[in-house]
Structure 1
Amino acid sequence: MKKTLITLLAMSVCTLAMAQWGEEEMSDKPTFRERIFTGGGFGLSFSNYYDFISVSPLIGYKVTPKLAAGIQVQYRYTKYKEFTPKFSTNDYGISPFVRYSIYAPIFLQAEYEYLNYEYPITTSESIRKTYNSFLAGGGFFQPIGRHAGFYAVAMYNFSYRAANYGEVTPYNSPLVLRVGVTAGF
């Protein structure tokens, strides 16, 4: 029970994190450095069935105080404990995104996600597939100090297709929710 509670807490707080970005004032002629923002996320989850680690740094560019574009890379490691011997998989991907601040702290976001996903089917065999997804939705960003903030994002995966019998997909729903605390660099 304790492990499950720790897993749920880690999944809800330490999922993918957005970079620090909002509707900050920009000088009349901002430098390139003033327009750049960075951040990322780190996720951990441990249970009796699997261990999960996720790292997802990102870099973005403020085109205007309200419009930003960027790219996020991700790596996920999963160790499945239900197999004997234990089996691990590695997923990786890249997601260019565009974000528009409607009215601080509310924003709209669209992103394309390329994900190379691996899933075990037996103790010695796995399936590796590439998924391309177009996601769009909105979110809320609340700064917590200079280099941190809380965010919640709900996006719809317009490329979602339910898996047929025997198929595997990285998403079990077209709705993608991300909640967490930023990790600005």
Structure 2
Amino acid sequence: MRNIVIVLCCLGFMSLDIKAQSLTRSTDKDKKVSSSNRRIWYGGNVPLGLGFGSSTLIQFGLSPMLGYKLTPDFSVGPRAGFLYSYYSQRLINGQVERVQPLSWSAGIFSRYKFVDRFFVHAEYEYANEAVPYYTSNGFEVQRYNANNMHLGLGLLQGGGGAMRSEILLLYNVNPSPLSSKSPLSLRFGLNWHF
């Protein structure tokens, strides 16, 4: 009988040891997964534009981005952008001409946080932009491709939680000669876990 108790105790201790090892392995695995998930962050902005007068301009866009933290302060990732524009022009005879082009862009970026709330941003962007202009035949849309290189500074706002807002001032060091846009741009956006 005493031998049976010893065998049962040994089996009990072995099962506790096996259970503890499996818990340790699953915890280590969970730590790796959650650590990997903490390296990924999401962000983007929603560009809006309004202009009124003899002509009307309304713009709405979406520019999502996905970042991967190589270190806690240095991130890289892709960014895309879509911009819908509505232009209308009232002619002398009272007729209204309208055009609704869509512009898009895709690129890669890198960011480095040099203090808790400030970061530098570098971005290469390939853009397919639609530029409407008015002729005697009405609106015509000219498309051109641009290889933009944006450099700038950003400021994170909000608490230390997962969701924060950002303001980003960028300068395009390679503006297209076909564009009438300023090389300076200001972006407002949100990010999660940056």
The alignment's TM-score, normalised by the length of structure 2, stands at 0.69
- Structure number with greater Rg is 2
- The 3-state SS of whatever aligns with 1:31 is helix
Residue in 1 aligned with 2:21? none
Give the Cα separation in 1 of the matches to 2:158 and 2:106. 25
1:175 aligns with one of 180, 184, 189: 184
Deviation at 1:155, TM superposition (A): 1.9
Matches within 5 A, 1:31-180: 31-48=35-52, 49-82=56-89, 84-122=96-134, 123-144=138-159, 146-160=161-175, 163=177, 168-169=178-179, 171=181, 173-178=182-187, 180=188
1:174: how far off?
Answer: 2.1
The SS at the match of 1:121 is strand
Query: Per-residue displacement from partner, 1:34-57 (whole Å, max 9, x unpaired)?
Result: 211112222334443111111111
Q: Distance in 2 between matches of 1:63 and 1:170?
A: 36
Structure 2 stretches lacking a partner, 5+ long: 1-30, 91-95
- CA distance in 1 between counterparts of 2:72 and 2:160 reads 19
Q: 1:76 to 1:169 in 2, by over 3 A?
A: same
Letter matched to residue 175 of structure 1: L
Which one scores higher on RCO, CA 8 angstroms, separation ≥ 6? 1
Alpha carbons of 1:181 and 1:73: their partners in 2 closer, same or farther (altered >3 Å)? closer
Gap regions ≥5 residues in structure 1: 1-27
Offset of 1:58 from its aligned partner?
Answer: 1.1
Question: Match of 2:9?
Answer: none
* TM-score, length basis structure 1: 0.72
- Could you say what the CA RMSD is over the residues aligned between the two structures, in angstroms? 2.3
- After superposition, the C-alpha distances for 1:12-49 in whole angstroms (9 at most, x for unaligned) are xxxxxxxxxxxxxxxx9663222111122223344431
Aligned length: 151
**Cα distance in structure 2, aligned partners of 1:92 and 1:128:** 11
CA positional deviation for 1:152: 1.9
CA deviations 1:123-171 (Å, max 9, x no partner) are 342100001111112111123463432322222211025x5xxxx4162
Please tell me whether the aligned partners of residues 40 and 69 of structure 2 are also in contact (alpha carbons under 8 angstroms): yes
> Which residue identity lines up with residue 42 of structure 1 in the other structure?
V
Q: Cα gap change, 1:35/1:54 in structure 2, threshold over 3 Å: closer, same or farther?
A: same
